[in-house]
Chain A
Amino acid sequence: MAEIVSLAEAVARAVHDGDSVAMEGFTHLIPFAAGREIIRQRRRDLTLIRMTPDVLYDQLIGAGCASRLIFSWGGNPGVGSLHRFRDAVENAWPGPLQLEEHSHAGMANRYVAGASGVPFAILRGYSGTGLEGLPGLDGQPAIRSVTCPFTGERLTAVAALNPDVAVIHAQRADRAGNVQLWGITGVQKEAVLSAERSIATVEEIVGELAPEPGAIVLPAWVVSYVAAAPGGSHPSYALGYSARDNDYYQAWDLISRDRERFSRWLAEEVHGEAGSLAGAGAGEGGCGS
């Protein structure tokens, strides 16, 4: 049953060194405040999982939290490269980053299998691509094939994802810990249901969840921790609460481009006073521009 705690306590209790951590939010409702809290608590050796390791994971990778990454698209959306991600892959800075790489369809189906309690998912995908031959984190082929027992057709098989922890951001929770999100809901429901533990940060905690068109509700009994983090998806957005801060994504390109500037951002905006304020929900962590 979900416990309503502070973000710092949720991260301290749910995310441990060496864990596999899936932070989801597909271009919307990205759990940035939770990411900064993981950096602030100096978690190490994480296996980070995310379809789109955008600015969120650029921050965690640059901060040295991750040893491994499972993903399908690693760019700064609408801007270009992820410089910290590239520096880790191309130059092993601040340390080596082992990759397991998929397509979006493959990742989405891996979460579905994990949420469904089955060991793999099938899809029509990857055929003829270079991704087919790449190893998974265990060195074994990550993309395999399976023969349909009914038709004999060969299909692609990908292993279920069952992370230690899933972290999402949502619009609201009620005081019982039921979590409600709407708009582009991506793969968050599957991520939470596939994981051993979960954290949902929310814009606000309300007495009662009012119905919203197309909303997903994650009942309190499938969520481990709920933490209020108003503005916690900035610089992405929470439909109905905030707009995407496109300037931040542009500014990130400059902040992340060199190690020194990034390290200064880390010291000032995450570990420094501005970062602490953001963690308490009193600010949003400036972009330094």
Chain B
Amino acid sequence: MNATGAAAPVTADPAAFTADEMMTACAARALHDGMTCFVGIGLPSAAANLARATHAPNLVLIYESGTIGAKPDRLPLSIGDGILAETADAVVSVPEIFNYWLQPGRIAVGFLGAAQIDKFGNINTTVIGADYAQPSVRLPGAGGAPEIAASCREVIVVVRQSRRSFVERVDFVTSVGFGDGPGSRERLGLTGAGPRKVITDLGVLEPDPATCELTLTGLYPGGSVAGVRAKTGWELAVSDSLTVLQPPTVAELTALRQLHDGAG
């Protein structure tokens, strides 16, 4: 049984959903019911709200605007959307959300986007170009991400994949994944475990337990290793237990489209 009724088939026709919908459904499945989740806006927010609308109704959504336990029935358009405050269990100040709630490691999962990500899961949202003072592209900057990446017990990244966005080494480390590799997080005193999954429009990457390098562990129906490698800016390792992930269910697609429609 699912939200759309008993007669719905388990999975949808592959032609009937987009790569973004596959990515969002896959990201939603990474969240479990009852979890606490610090949500970035954009792709992460869509996935977190999809999880709440389907298999994880008790997911606790926390936004950096200070809204704890927000229950929007449409996608919020910004982290300060009125619907977040109106449906939250509690609304706290910005210093409080970072100091009392995020910093001590109370939040299970941080859900982040990225402009650039490297093979050790480090994220850049600051500048493109080697020289910070003379950037070729000035990006928005850090926001809450550095401390979300440091202090949530684990991190999930949702990002569209291309050679431009998936690079050997990010131009600027805005938020630390595994730094230079094994042992970096411990040396830096970062309390959370770091990235658990990177979910893209082509598949799912997870850190290799020994090398910390992002490794392809999941493909989407119809995808290929060569296709993912063609859009990765480093020599992408592939897991021995590579699996093909289930397409979005009709229930997931219906819920996701309703969330988007509601956002108008």
Chain B interface: which of A66-74, A170-178, A278-286? A66-74
Interface residues of B in 178-219 (CB under 8 A from A): 179, 184, 188-191
Q: Are B80 and A187 closer than 8 Å at their CB atoms? A: no
Chain B interface: which of A238-246, A252-260, A265-273? A238-246
Q: Give the residue name and chain of the A residue nearest to B42 (CB).
A: A78
Chain B interface SS verdict (over half): loop
Q: Are A244 and B140 closer than 8 Å at their CB atoms? A: no
C-alpha gap A26/B80 in the complex (Å): 7
Interface residues of B in 79-124 (CB under 8 A from A): 79-82, 84-86, 91, 93-95, 98-99, 102-103
The smallest beta-carbon distance between B129 and chain A, in angstroms, is 10
**Residue A184 at the chain B interface, CB threshold 8 Å:** yes
A74 contacts which of B66, B141, B146, B179 (Cβ < 8 Å)? Answer: B141
Chain A interface: which of B2-10, B167-175, B224-232? B167-175
Q: Give the residue name and chain of the A residue nearest to B176 (CB).
A: A128
A123 contacts which of B81, B99, B132 (Cβ < 8 Å)? Answer: B99
Q: Are A105 and B174 closer than 8 Å at their CB atoms? A: no
A73/B141 contact (C-beta < 8 A), A131-B174, A154-B189 known: yes
Q: Are A77 and B41 closer than 8 Å at their CB atoms? A: yes
**Residue B138 at the chain A interface, CB threshold 8 Å:** yes
The smallest beta-carbon distance between B109 and chain A, in angstroms, is 18
**Residue B151 at the chain A interface, CB threshold 8 Å:** yes
A27/B173 contact (C-beta < 8 A), A103-B143, A105-B98, A187-B94 known: no
Chain A residues whose CB sits within 8 angstroms of the CB of B81 once the complex forms: 27, 244
**Residue A94 at the chain B interface, CB threshold 8 Å:** no
Q: Are A124 and B142 closer than 8 Å at their CB atoms? A: no
Q: Are A26 and B94 closer than 8 Å at their CB atoms? A: yes
C-alpha gap A111/B98 in the complex (Å): 13
C-alpha gap A130/B77 in the complex (Å): 29
**Residue A214 at the chain B interface, CB threshold 8 Å:** yes
Q: Are A123 and B103 closer than 8 Å at their CB atoms? A: yes
The smallest beta-carbon distance between A61 and chain B, in angstroms, is 12
A128/B188 contact (C-beta < 8 A), A103-B143, A105-B103, A244-B77 known: yes
Q: Give the residue name and chain of the A residue nearest to B88 (CB).
A: A184
Chain A residues whose CB sits within 8 angstroms of the CB of B73 once the complex forms: none
**Residue A85 at the chain B interface, CB threshold 8 Å:** yes
Interface size on B, residues (CB 8 A): 49
Q: Are A127 and B176 closer than 8 Å at their CB atoms? A: yes
**Residue A134 at the chain B interface, CB threshold 8 Å:** yes
B95 contacts which of A112, A126, A246 (Cβ < 8 Å)? Answer: A112
**Residue B150 at the chain A interface, CB threshold 8 Å:** yes
Chain A residues whose CB sits within 8 angstroms of the CB of B65 once the complex forms: 26-28, 184, 186
B66 contacts which of A51, A111, A185 (Cβ < 8 Å)? Answer: A185
Q: Can you list 21 A-B contacts with CB-CB less than 8 angstroms, sorted by A residue number?
A: A26-B65, A27-B65, A27-B78, A28-B85, A72-B141, A73-B143, A74-B140, A78-B41, A78-B77, A103-B143, A103-B147, A108-B98, A111-B95, A112-B99, A123-B99, A129-B176, A130-B126, A183-B85, A185-B93, A187-B93, A239-B82
Beyond A105-B147, A130-B172, A190-B93, 17 extra complex contacts between A and B, CB < 8 Å: A72-B142, A73-B144, A77-B80, A78-B41, A103-B142, A104-B94, A127-B189, A129-B146, A130-B132, A131-B142, A134-B132, A186-B94, A187-B94, A189-B93, A237-B82, A244-B78, A244-B81
